A and B are shown apart, each in its own frame.
Chain A
């Protein structure tokens, strides 16, 4: 049996954060770039979503926030998050973008994959290194950077604010079910 030194006890989680960060942002950027090619939008979304979901490997369900207790409240929380995310577009109804129906299934895959990657695995890894505040700030920054290629710059403030809301929910409620539900509904509605 090998004994863990204090250095490796710190370095290993930090290294895991670094690897996850590069992998997740790399997948998101690759997805955004490949998705602009002809006929590549749906494959890019599906493959990107699956690649992001793979970050769950090695984590327990509870450390990802995917426990099943209080499921009713978790689902209801997801509905509430969706309502908040959609409210500006609903009030300014004319500004709602048009979401092609053909992308619906792919959007579900990528929404779930993103939540597992950002608020699941990356959040858990960052929390091990620096606690919940670092996890919230780190996932919000990574989430914003990951969307830098797919969104015009003026939208990144709203993207960051959405990431902060989802990350705070994950930290405060110890729950990933609600961010997944809210994210999926928001993506399907827009």
Chain B
């Protein structure tokens, strides 16, 4: 009885602590820090607003230098190769700015997993840049990165590379503009994780049902065995491998 009480108390303690930081127990697959949403979903809890980024790229010998612009919270990184920009006569630097877009765009037929960001530069991009966007573990995995020339759209699918890091999606872009990662509203995320939110309650219900349905007959069998023969319920501590 005391043992059962101890286990019940530990289960209750876990449920209470995990409830405060739902989902509670998950094992090392979390992003290093919570995602900063412009429009946080209800489950996000405490949320900080995302930050912007600013980069000054040097122009050396009429060629723009290689560099990467990123937001201060690291949620967007865009990398430029040498000569990525068409340099205007007399221009010695190129300025790149990344700004989170507010209010959040909600284009018809698309669901964005990330914030939308506006990336601008005071020169024209002439070589593809590498765009990396972090996404939250609290939202469905994005399938693609979308780009638009206006916050109102239209949004164009510019693909996605294979996942190099957890919780990031990356692609290449040949123009700057508005960027967000997401998936078509009528599609299931091809990374396959998107259905987890809907399935999880059923998994837990099935687990509880299994415990109840199998536990009762197992307990009855064990009690009968214990009553029928001495030593049937002995521990196995002295068993050799």
Please list the residues of chain A having a beta carbon within 8 angstroms of any beta carbon in chain B: 31-32, 35-39, 41, 45, 60-63, 67-70, 72-73, 76, 79-80, 82-103, 107, 110-111, 114, 147, 150-152, 154-155, 157-162, 164-165, 168-169, 172-174, 183, 185-187, 189-190
Contacts and interface: CB of A to CB of B under 8 A. Distances in A.
17 contacts: A31-B28, A32-B28, A36-B166, A63-B237, A79-B207, A85-B18, A90-B200, A94-B43, A98-B189, A98-B193, A110-B28, A154-B21, A158-B14, A158-B17, A183-B27, A190-B23, A190-B26
Contacts of A84: 11, 14-15
Considering the complex of A and B, which 9 residue pairs feature the smallest CB-CB distances, nearest first? A89-B23, A67-B236, A90-B204, A101-B192, A83-B207, A95-B43, A150-B28, A161-B14, A98-B193
A161 B235 contact: no
Contacts of B42: 94
A110 B10 contact: no
Given A70-B222, A90-B203, A76 B137 contact: no
Interface string B131-150: 00000011111000000000
B18 A161 contact: yes
Contacts of A89: 18, 22-26, 200
The interface centre, meaning the residue of B7, B25, B207, B239 with most chain A CB atoms within 10 A of its CB, is: B25
B164 A39 contact: yes
Given A73-B218, A98-B141, A100-B191, A62 B166 contact: no
Nearest to A60: B241
A62 B240 contact: yes
A97 B25 contact: no
Contact of A82 (B10, B137, B163, B207): B207
Contacts of A90: 200-201, 203-205
Given A72-B214, A86-B207, 18 more contacts: A67-B237, A70-B222, A76-B210, A76-B215, A79-B207, A82-B207, A85-B18, A86-B203, A94-B41, A95-B23, A98-B140, A99-B26, A100-B166, A100-B191, A150-B27, A151-B30, A152-B32, A187-B27
